[in-house]
């Protein structure tokens, strides 16, 4: 029973890569992931901050074939099945931006965490002939925790986007207020100069 619980916890940390990174302007960053043949994979990404929240994305298979390519995309999710064993490459490009850097989040998973769990359960069922109530509850808890983690991740991304938008809006309001204050000051000085000219004797 404890072996099954350990495998469930271990698999949840070993089936994918999740990363948030900064993508500078005029830069392209690539990541590589080894995958087996005929494995279902998924790539999810989202631009959190920067400019119009868009990047260029390209996914290339181990034999150099382009599986997915999008230009100036804010977010997307792409599911595919590998056709050979090797190293897949996915690149994020901000080369079209001259001075704005981006903050990008991606989640890359290959394979399903259900198959190892089922294998462990089959081994347990072979020895014990039936799952105990605790083992069944552990599986349900594991599935619910995966859903909670996914929801929390998306909520954190939305929160980061909202915070960045609020900060940008606040900065623009400050600039607009400073501009209005400068215009009012200049208009006031101009009016004083004009009024003084009315009461000044001309020689």
First vs last C-alpha separation in the chain: 106
Alpha helices in the chain (DSSP H): 2-11, 114-128, 133-198
The predicted structure's pLDDT at residue 121: 55
* Conformation bin of residue 21: beta by default, left when phi > 0, alpha when psi is -120 to 50: beta
Range 140-179 burial, b when 16+ CB lie within 10 A, else e: eebeeeeeeeeeebeeebeebbeeeeeeeeeeeeeeeeee
The predicted structure's pLDDT at residue 203: 59
Token pair of 56 as six digits: 């260029």
The predicted structure's pLDDT at residue 176: 94
Q: Domains for the chain: give ranges and CATH numbers.
A: 2-130 (2.60.120.380)
What is the chain's pLDDT, residue by residue, as a tens digit (203 residues)? Answer: 333 333 334 333 344 578 889 999 899 999 998 888 888 999 999 998 888 888 999 999 988 899 999 999 988 999 999 888 889 999 999 999 888 889 999 999 887 544 455 555 555 554 555 667 787 788 888 888 878 887 887 788 778 778 878 888 898 999 999 999 999 999 999 998 888 888 876 65
> Would you state the torsion angle of the CA atoms of residues 92, 94, 96, 100, taken in this order, to the nearest 10 degrees?
160
Residues 6+ positions from 68 with CB-CB distance below 8 Å: 43, 57, 58, 59, 78, 80, 90
Token pair 């190293």 is found at: 87
Q: What is the CA radius of gyration of the chain?
A: 28
Residues 6+ positions from 86 with CB-CB distance below 8 Å: 34, 35, 61, 62, 63
Q: What is this structure's pTM?
A: 0.63
């Amino acid at each position: 029973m404890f072996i099954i619980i350990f495998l469930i916890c271990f698999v949840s940390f070993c089936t994918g890569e999740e990363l948030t990174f900064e993508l500078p302007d005029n830069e392209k960053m690539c990541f590589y992931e080894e995958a087996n043949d005929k494995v279902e994979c998924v790539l999810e990404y989202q631009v959190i901050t920067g400019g119009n929240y868009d990047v260029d994305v390209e996914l290339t298979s181990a034999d150099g074939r382009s599986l997915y390519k999008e230009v100036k995309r804010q977010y997307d999710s792409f599911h595919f099945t590998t056709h050979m064993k090797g190293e897949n490459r996915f690149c994020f490009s901000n080369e079209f931006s001259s001075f704005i850097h981006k903050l990008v989040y991606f989640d890359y998973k290959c394979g399903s965490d259900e198959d190892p769990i089922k294998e462990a359960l089959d081994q347990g069922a072979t020895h014990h002939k039936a799952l105990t109530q605790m083992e069944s509850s552990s599986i349900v808890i594991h599935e619910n925790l995966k859903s909670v983690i996914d929801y929390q991740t998306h909520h954190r991304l939305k929160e980061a986007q909202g915070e960045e938008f609020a900060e940008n809006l606040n900065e623009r309001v400050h600039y607009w207020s400073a501009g209005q204050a400068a215009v009012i000051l200049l208009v006031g000085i101009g009016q004083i100069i004009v009024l003084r000219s009315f009461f000044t004797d001309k020689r």
